[in-house]
């Protein structure tokens, strides 16, 4: 080998080491930013609950799953209806701590019960019919807020949207 070939191999080695050093730095930055970020699975839908000797009860169930590698504090649950945001009040306490892999189901009865006024009355009675349209109801999203400022939005199930439309069109009459 002559000196030119040796110098060429030295330059190529320097370029390769520089490229892979840059790639390693970018990869470590990516892991640093995205690995410790909260990731939640959110789902809101209608569920029928059957208890011994009682008629079926309709519930709005909000399921939250911690899909991240860090514990997450849930600080609020709300709704996005059109351009407006509404915070849901619960008879339980917040914040809710979810460790990695944990889940929490929050159950809201659709209609009034002994100890709760009902999800539909609580959330939609104060909203004027003129403010909400059928198209808007079908695009309602549940919002879950965390203590680190992240929020997660997910569209509700169509069957729950239909119950809300039915409630709004009946002006809140009891139609269980």
- Which residues are within 8 A (CB) of 67 and not within 5 positions of it... i.e. 6 or more apart? 39, 40, 41
Residue range 40-169 in CATH 2.60.40: yes
Reading the block at residue 81, the tokens are 């209806």
Beta strands in 103-163 (DSSP E): 103-109, 141-146, 151-155
The reported pLDDT for the residue numbered 26 is 94
Q: Is the pLDDT of residue 132 over 80?
A: no
Dump pLDDT digits (tens) for 138-150: 788 999 999 988 9
Judge whether 59 and 47 are in contact, CB under 8 Å: yes
Dump pLDDT digits (tens) for 48-85: 888 787 778 888 899 999 999 899 999 999 888 888 88
- pTM assigned to the model: 0.74
């Amino acid at each position: 080998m002559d000196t030119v070939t040796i110098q060429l191999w030295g330059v190529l080695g320097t370029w390769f080491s520089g490229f892979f050093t840059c790639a390693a730095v970018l990869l470590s930055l990516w892991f640093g930013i995205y690995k410790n970020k909260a990731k939640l699975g959110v789902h809101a839908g209608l569920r029928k609950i059957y208890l011994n000797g009682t008629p079926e009860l309709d519930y709005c169930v909000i399921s939250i799953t911690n899909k991240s590698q860090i514990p997450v504090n849930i600080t609020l649950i709300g709704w996005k209806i059109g351009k407006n945001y509404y915070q849901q009040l619960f008879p339980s306490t917040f914040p809710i701590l979810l460790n990695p892999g944990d889940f929490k189901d929050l159950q809201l009865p659709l209609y009034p019960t002994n100890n709760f006024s009902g999800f539909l009355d609580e959330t939609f009675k104060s909203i004027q019919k003129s403010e909400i349209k059928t198209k808007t109801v079908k695009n309602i999203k549940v919002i879950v807020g965390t203590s680190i400022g992240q929020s997660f939005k997910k569209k509700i199930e169509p069957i729950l949207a239909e119950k809300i439309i039915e409630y709004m069109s009946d002006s809140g009459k009891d139609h269980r």
